[in-house]
């Protein structure tokens, strides 16, 4: 969430987080080399929806002003918390060399490429994040018991990815012994669902590029719309086959992921004590894909037709911009509506269905990124969002400015990302604006009955025209030979006369 350099007692008290990429004085945000400058943070002031009726209770309101009010703003091709990085898809000392970051179907990658990706994930699970640290207490307790020990911790790159998701979905602390308020979710059940997860993935991809020293590294996707009850990426060379131990809900010992341990699994403690998930790892991953016997609806993956249907919806989101929205592309891809767009409280489709299908760690919102399948499930969800943006070109008008649930208005800074970034900044087609793109074979719509009938009629008409034309030509050619008779008359008659004489002589003989 915040750069290590900024979470000192002085840094927090000043509210300024504008480090230098070189560590030199008078170089905040790389200003001495024209990379960026330190500016005042602006937070969204438009009204949000009625789902969150409180004010001033939650550190995430008007993010990130509870913690910092000054940040780096980077010029042109530069990015990062101190403007020392290049924007996605650019490299070189001046960040002006383009690189291709192409997200592909993991099943279409070679076995060497698959292996390299699994190893990179495992490395990210063990490598401490070079720049960012996480808070483990609410702001009220952030300076620690002695008032001078900021409550922040190091965390690994992959666990940071898990923690940011947890922090965005947690309940609002309402005081000692009281239940947390659950009507908030800064990354789901609103238009920000697609923009928030888009940045979440970009951040992991960027962190892994830096870890590997490879600016072309791209996260692959899981083409989950295959129907049926088989998880095609749950094999030991990819995300782990099912093990018969632990009621069949554990991962095979032949997979590296059987060694992974989860974070953020103590919801009750966080809620009752007002603490926050930290970097401590606990139990193993749990998964039994398609095996939820109590809920038949989530035993099967989405169908290809579901993708075709949701891409046909032409409105990005509809009031109340929530999980009850109907005819909303966002609520449909998120999976609270039927794939054709109609809201139905019992339905789970597309993204939600893929989560629930995993039936374990990957199906519980506060924990789900602990299962690495989360990454590929979300790159595919993001690919669908990107395809929708390209097909419908909503421009700047498609995303709601106000009255969305808290965290989801167009200009809200997404929680808990740093430096601040709004939902609007992620509402652009990836190839033009974000420095990566997808390679996907999109399913095509089968013909409807009326289209089949129209095609059949056209074919019949064409056949009639062609056959009729051929017949007409033959008749015409034949009659034109007869029509030439008068011109050929002499020859024709002489020949006929000779033949007649031959025939006559034959009959005489
Ligand atoms: O991790 C998630 C798990 C989810 C479960 C549902 C549901 O519809 O019940 N939705 C989810 C979203 C997630 O992100």
DSSP reduced 3-state for 45: coil
- Site to substitute for ligand 1 among 168, 182, 368, most atoms within 8 A of C-beta: 368
- 247 confidence band (pLDDT: 50, 70, 90): confident
Say yes or no to pLDDT of 429 above 90. Answer: yes
Grade residue 374 by pLDDT with cuts at 50, 70 and 90: very high
Lowest-confidence pick of 233-242, 329-338, 386-395, 418-427: 386-395
Whether residue 318 has a cis bond before it, omega within 30° of 0: no
- Between 71-85, 252-266, 394-408, the lowest mean confidence (pLDDT) is in 394-408
Evaluate if residue 480 carries a pLDDT over 70.
no
CA of 103 to the centre of ligand 1 (A): 23
Which has the minimum average pLDDT: 19-23, 163-167, 222-226, 458-462? 458-462
Q: pLDDT class for 231, splitting at 50, 70, 90?
A: very high
Which pLDDT does position 246 carry in this prediction?
79
Expressed in angstroms and rounded, the spacing between residue 441 Cα and the centre of ligand 1 is 26
Model confidence at 4: pLDDT above 90:
yes
Q: What pLDDT shows up at residue 492?
A: 45
Determine if residue 321 is left, alpha or beta; phi over 0 gives left, psi from -120 to 50 gives alpha, anything else beta. Answer: left
454 Cα to the center of ligand 1, angstroms: 43
Q: What is the DSSP string of 111-144?
A: HHHHHHHHHHHHHHHHSBPSSEEEE-B-GGGTT-
Higher pLDDT, 329 or 467: 329
How many Å lie between the centroid of ligand 1 and the Cα of residue 457? 47
Please, are residues 260 and 220 in contact by the beta-carbon 8 Å criterion? no
62-69: average pLDDT:
98
d(CA 318, CA 331): 9
Query: With 90 as the cut, is the pLDDT of residue 486 above it?
Result: no
Question: Sorting pLDDT into bands at 50, 70 and 90, what band is 494?
Answer: very low
Percentage of the chain exceeding pLDDT 90 = 84
Nearest one of 46, 13, 33, 8 to 94, comparing CA atoms: 33
What pLDDT shows up at residue 488? Answer: 47
Check whether 235 has a pLDDT greater than 50.
yes
- What is the Å distance from ligand 1's center to 356 Cα? 7
Lowest mean pLDDT among 39-53, 336-350, 360-374, 387-401: 387-401
Q: What is the Å distance from ligand 1's center to 363 Cα? A: 6
Which of 421-425's residues contact partners 24+ apart within 8 Å by CB, and which partners? 421/199, 422/44, 423/191, 423/192, 423/195, 423/196, 423/399, 424/195, 424/396, 424/399, 425/195
- Say yes or no to pLDDT of 502 above 70: no
The residues lining ligand 1, judged by C-beta closer than 6 Å to any ligand atom, are 188, 348, 352, 355-356, 363, 365, 368
Count Cβ neighbours within 10 Å for each residue of 300-310 and write b for 16 or more, e otherwise: ebbbbebbbbb
**Protein residue closest via CA to atom 7 of ligand 1:** 352
Q: For tokens 């992620």, what's the residue?
A: 426
**493 pLDDT higher than 50:** no
Asked if pLDDT for residue 489 goes beyond 90, the answer is no
Instruction: Report residue 482's pLDDT band, with 50, 70 and 90 as the boundaries.
Output: low
What pLDDT is stored for residue 99 in this prediction? 97
Strand spans (E) along 186-279: 242-243, 250-251
Cα 200 from Cα 164, distance rounded (Å) = 8
pLDDT in tens, 290-340: 999 999 999 999 999 999 999 999 999 999 999 999 999 999 999 999 999
pLDDT number for residue 473: 79
- Averaged pLDDT for residues 27-39: 97
Euclidean distance between CA atoms 502 and 505, whole angstroms: 5
- Name which residue sits closest to atom 1 of ligand 1, judged by CA: 365
CA distance 497 to 159: 106
Category of 61 on φ-ψ map: left (φ > 0), alpha (ψ -120 to 50) or beta? beta
Pocket test for ligand 1, best of 351, 363, 364, 378 (most atoms within 8 A of CB): 363
- Name the pTM for this structure: 0.89
Q: Which residue has the higher pLDDT, 488 or 353?
A: 353
pLDDT in tens, 142-182: 999 999 999 999 999 999 999 999 999 999 999 998 999 99
Best residue for ligand 1 mutational test, from 190, 355, 357, 376 (most atoms within 8 Å of Cβ): 355
Tell which wins on pLDDT, 395 or 496: 395
Q: What is the rounded CA–CA span in Å between residue 6 and residue 53?
A: 32
Q: Which of 166, 196, 354, 356 for a ligand 1 pocket mutation test, highest count of atoms within 8 Å of Cβ? A: 356
Peptide bond into 416 cis (omega under 30): yes
What average pLDDT does the structure give for the chain? 93
Residue 245 has pLDDT above 90, yes or no: no
ipTM: 0.93
pLDDT higher than threshold 80 for residue 5: yes
């Amino acid at each position: 969430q915040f750069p290590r350099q900024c979470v000192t007692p002085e840094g927090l008290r000043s509210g300024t987080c504008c480090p230098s990429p070189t560590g030199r004085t008078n170089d905040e945000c790389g200003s001495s080399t024209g990379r960026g400058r330190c500016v005042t943070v602006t937070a969204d002031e438009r009204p949000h929806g009625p789902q969150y009726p409180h004010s001033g209770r939650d550190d995430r309101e008007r993010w990130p002003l509870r913690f910092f009010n000054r940040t780096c703003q980077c010029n042109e091709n530069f990015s990062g918390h101190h403007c020392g990085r290049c924007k996605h898809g650019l490299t070189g000392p001046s960040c002006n060399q383009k690189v291709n970051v192409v997200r592909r179907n993991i099943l279409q990658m070679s076995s060497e490429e698959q292996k390299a990706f699994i190893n990179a994930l495992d490395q990210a699970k063990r490598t401490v994040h070079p720049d960012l640290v996480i808070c483990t207490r609410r702001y009220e307790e952030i300076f620690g018991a002695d008032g001078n020990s900021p409550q922040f911790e190091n965390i690994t790159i992959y666990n940071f990815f898990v923690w940011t998701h947890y922090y965005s979905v947690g309940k609002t602390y309402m005081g000692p012994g009281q239940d947390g308020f659950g009507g908030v979710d800064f990354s789901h059940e609103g238009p920000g669902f697609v923009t928030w997860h888009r940045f979440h993935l970009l951040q992991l991809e960027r962190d892994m590029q830096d870890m590997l020293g490879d600016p072309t590294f791209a996260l692959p996707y899981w083409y989950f719309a295959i129907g049926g009850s088989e998880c095609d990426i749950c094999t030991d060379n990819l995300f782990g086959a099912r093990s018969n131990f632990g009621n069949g809900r554990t991962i095979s010992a032949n997979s590296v992921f059987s060694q992974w341990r989860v974070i953020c699994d103590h919801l009750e403690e966080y809620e009752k004590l007002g603490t926050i998930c930290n970097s401590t790892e606990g139990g193993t991953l749990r998964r039994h894909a398609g095996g939820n016997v109590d809920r038949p609806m989530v035993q099967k993956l989405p169908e290809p037709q579901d993708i075709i249907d949701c891409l046909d919806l032409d409105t990005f989101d509809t009031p109340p911009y929530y999980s009850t929205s109907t005819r909303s592309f966002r609520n449909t891809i998120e999976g609270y509506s039927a794939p054709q767009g109609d809201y139905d409280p019992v339905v789970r489709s597309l993204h939600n269905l893929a989560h629930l299908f995993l039936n374990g760690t990957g199906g519980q919102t506060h924990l789900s990124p602990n299962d690495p399948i989360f990454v590929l499930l979300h790159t595919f969800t993001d690919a669908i969002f990107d395809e929708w943006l390209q097909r419908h070109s909503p421009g700047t008008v498609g995303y709601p400015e106000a009255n969305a649930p808290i965290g989801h208005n167009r200009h809200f800074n997404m929680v808990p990302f740093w430096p601040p970034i709004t939902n609007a900044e992620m509402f652009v087609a990836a190839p033009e604006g974000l420095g990566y793109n997808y390679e996907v074979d999109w399913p095509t719509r089968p013909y409807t009955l009326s289209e089949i009938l129209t095609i059949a009629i056209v074919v019949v008409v064409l056949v009639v025209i062609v056959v009729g034309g051929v017949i007409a030509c033959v008749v015409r050619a034949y009659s034109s030979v007869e029509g030439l008779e008068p011109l050929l008359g002499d020859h024709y008659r002489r020949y006929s006369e000779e033949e007649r004489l031959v025939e006559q002589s034959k009959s005489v003989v």
